[in-house]
């Protein structure tokens, strides 16, 4: 008897569920340091870890800041599923005080001993094929399907060291280290700006459509040309640009959509588009905060799909709980200025294990094998910083 795509994608993965749920005891508070680094700031705050429900991103950020009246800014992560909890640390920006104020413990002695695919590559390719059938049937236009690798080391993994190693591999992007209530951390270097508000100025730089970098200039130029000429990648990208421009429209005036660019990370090329506008005050004179703008945009089709609700439903059935992966990570001040990056190219560190996840946009014309290769290359960005990389082939 043949299995339908809907039946197959009911698959659940115990290792991932366990790692994610261990990160979520409620109401625990312990003082730790969080860091967020971008072209705009290098912020480090020390305070209690606050885990708050997030029916609404803006309310959650405001609740966290209200809980700590002495704090200037909040750094934290917002979940992929808004029914889930967010984690914040509020405080005074201590980055100017130097590293001795932080939790830095650069032991660097952890060696990765084993890596498990979750799901295995064949199952991921089957899921892509199943989603392609749903797309063919006309139910959906795009779904961003993710897979993970669970790496186990012989000693606790140092999250600060991982962040430094990621930053050494790529000078751009949004570096983050968010401590979690169970003692674990969410660490990464995202290339994608969900939204930034700097007083009146609002910007977003969605990415979608990718090629793997070879590291050889001639071959890389050919890959960039191929990416720019690809109708499939243009469709995948334009779905995101349209959603972001429409999402910002109620909150901004003078929205300008730039020409498409190519954004490079250490391992990937992506199609990107800057979308900018001026923050518009509501009837009581309030400007939309960075988190209100993040709420309006999340989840974009760069991490979920289109139409959003149908894609989200597929992801719930296929992948289960994504936790903070493909949520948002960033900072915000009391005036609502801030930056929220898309929470990709990161790892959930739990003692001596690291759960690394990556997704790829599936649209008509996608091929299961190349989507597995693309997610493999995205995973390698983080795995290399953990000291793996070439040893992990796909
Ligand atoms: C969802 C991820 O990437 C997104 C960002 C850039 C390009 C993407 C793509 O081409 O599929 C994804 O939309 C990820 O890295 O986990």
- Report CA(35)–ligand 1 centroid distance (Å): 23
Contact between residue 23 and residue 182 where contact means Cβ atoms under 8 Å apart: yes
Reduced to 3 states, what is the DSSP secondary structure of residue 186?
strand
Closest CA to 323 of 36, 85, 54, 59: 85
Whether pLDDT at 202 is above 70: yes
Backbone angles phi, psi at 219, to 5 degrees: -65, -35
Pick the residue whose CA is nearest to atom 13 on ligand 1: 302
Among 189, 303, 311, 371, residue to substitute to test ligand 1 (most atoms within 8 Å of Cβ): 303
* Half-sphere exposure (Cβ direction) of 150: Cα atoms closer than 13 Å: 16
Note the pLDDT of residue 392: 56
What is the token pair recorded at 73? Answer: 């800014």
CA pseudo-torsion sign 242, 62, 341, 10: negative
* pLDDT at residue 109, as a whole number: 73
In this predicted structure, the answer to whether residue 7 has a pLDDT above a threshold of 50 is no
* Residue 244 located in a structural domain: yes
Look up the CATH number of the domain holding residue 299: 3.60.120.10
Q: Is residue 175 scored above 80 in pLDDT?
A: yes
b/e 340-367 (16+ beta carbons within 10 angstroms → b): bbbbbbbbbbbebbbbbbbbbbbbeebe
pLDDT at residue 98 above 60?
A: no
Tell me, yes or no, whether 79 lies in a domain: yes
Q: Give exposure, 53-73, as e/b (b: 16+ Cβ within 10 Å).
A: ebeebbebbbbbbebbeebeb
Reported confidence tier of residue 97, pLDDT bands at 50, 70, 90 = low
84 found inside a domain = yes
**Using one digit for the tens of pLDDT, what is the confidence trace for 64-78?**
999 999 999 999 999
Share of the chain above pLDDT 90, in %: 82
141 occurs within a structural domain: yes
* CB-based burial label for 10 (10 Å; 0-12, 13-18, 19+): exposed
Question: Distance from the CA of 240 to the center of ligand 1, in angstroms?
Answer: 11
- Looking at residue 389, its pLDDT comes to 56
Range of the domain at 140: 14-103+112-385
Q: What pLDDT score does 31 carry?
A: 85
Task: Provide the pLDDT confidence category of residue 165 given band limits of 50, 70 and 90.
Answer: very high
The CA-atom distances, in angstroms, between 366 and each of 247, 264, 310, 314 are: 26, 21, 19, 17
What φ, ψ does residue 273 adopt, rounded to 5°? -145, 125
Q: What average pLDDT does range 131-153 have in this prediction?
A: 96
Confidence of residue 29 (pLDDT cuts 50, 70, 90): low
Tell me the C-alpha distance between 370 and 365, whole Å: 11
Q: Which residue among the candidates 142, 339, 371, 378 is catalytic per the annotation?
A: 142
Distance CA 74, CA 68 (A): 10
* pLDDT tens-digit series, residues 272-315: 999 999 999 999 999 999 999 999 999 999 999 999 999 999 99
Assess if residue 339 is contained within a domain: yes
Say if 172 falls within a structural domain.
Answer: yes
- Residue 9 covered by a domain: no
| Domain assignment present for 364 | yes
Q: Which of 148, 174, 192, 329 to mutate to test the pocket of ligand 1 (most atoms within 8 A of CB)?
A: 192
Quote the number of domains for the chain. 1
pLDDT tens, 101-140? 444 444 567 888 899 999 999 999 999 999 999 999 998 9
Q: Reply yes or no on whether 313 is catalytic.
A: no
Q: Which of 125, 192, 196, 374 is catalytic?
A: 192
Average pLDDT of the residues in 53-72: 93
**Catalytic site residue 192?**
yes
Record the pTM: 0.91
């Amino acid at each position: 008897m043949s299995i339908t795509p809907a039946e197959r994608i009911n698959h659940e993965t115990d290792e991932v569920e366990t790692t994610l749920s261990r990160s979520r005891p409620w109401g625990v508070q312990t003082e730790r340091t969080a860091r967020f680094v971008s072209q705009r700031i290098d912020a480090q705050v020390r305070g209690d870890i606050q885990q708050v429900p997030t029916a609404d991103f803006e309310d959650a950020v405001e609740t966290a800041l209200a809980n700590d009246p002495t704090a200037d800014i909040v750094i934290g992560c917002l979940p992929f599923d808004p029914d889930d909890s967010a984690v914040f640390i509020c405080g005074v920006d201590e980055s100017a005080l130097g590293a001795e104020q932080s939790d830095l413990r650069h032991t660097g002695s952890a060696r990765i001993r084993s890596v498990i695919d979750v799901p295995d590559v064949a199952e991921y390719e089957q899921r892509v094929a199943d989603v392609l059938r749903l797309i063919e049937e006309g139910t959906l236009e795009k779904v961003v399907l993710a897979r993970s690798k669970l790496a186990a080391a012989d000693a606790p993994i140092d999250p600060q060291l991982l962040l430094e190693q990621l930053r050494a591999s790529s000078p751009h992007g949004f570096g983050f280290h968010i401590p979690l209530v169970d003692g674990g951390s969410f660490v990464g270097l995202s290339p994608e700006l969900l939204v930034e508000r700097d007083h009146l100025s609002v910007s977003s730089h969605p990415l979608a459509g990718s090629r793997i970098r070879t590291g050889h200039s001639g071959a890389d130029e050919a890959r960039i040309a191929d990416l720019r000429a690809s109708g499939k990648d243009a469709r995948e990208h334009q779905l995101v640009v349209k959603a972001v421009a429409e999402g910002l429209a109620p909150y901004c005036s003078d929205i300008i959509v730039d020409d498409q660019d190519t954004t490079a990370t250490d391992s990937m090329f992506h199609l990107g588009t800057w979308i900018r506008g001026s923050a518009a005050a509501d009837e009581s004179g309030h400007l939309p905060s960075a988190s209100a703008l993040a709420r309006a945009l999340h989840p974009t089709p760069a991490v979920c799909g289109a139409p959003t609700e149908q894609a989200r439903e597929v992801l719930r059935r296929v992948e289960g709980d994504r936790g903070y992966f493909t949520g948002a990570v960033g900072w915000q001040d009391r005036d609502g200025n801030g930056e929220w990056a898309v929470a990709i190219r990161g790892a959930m560190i739990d003692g001596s294990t690291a759960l690394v996840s990556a997704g790829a946009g599936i649209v008509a014309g996608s091929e299961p094998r190349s989507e597995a290769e693309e997610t493999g290359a995205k995973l390698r960005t983080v795995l290399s910083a953990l000291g793996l990389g070439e040893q992990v082939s796909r």
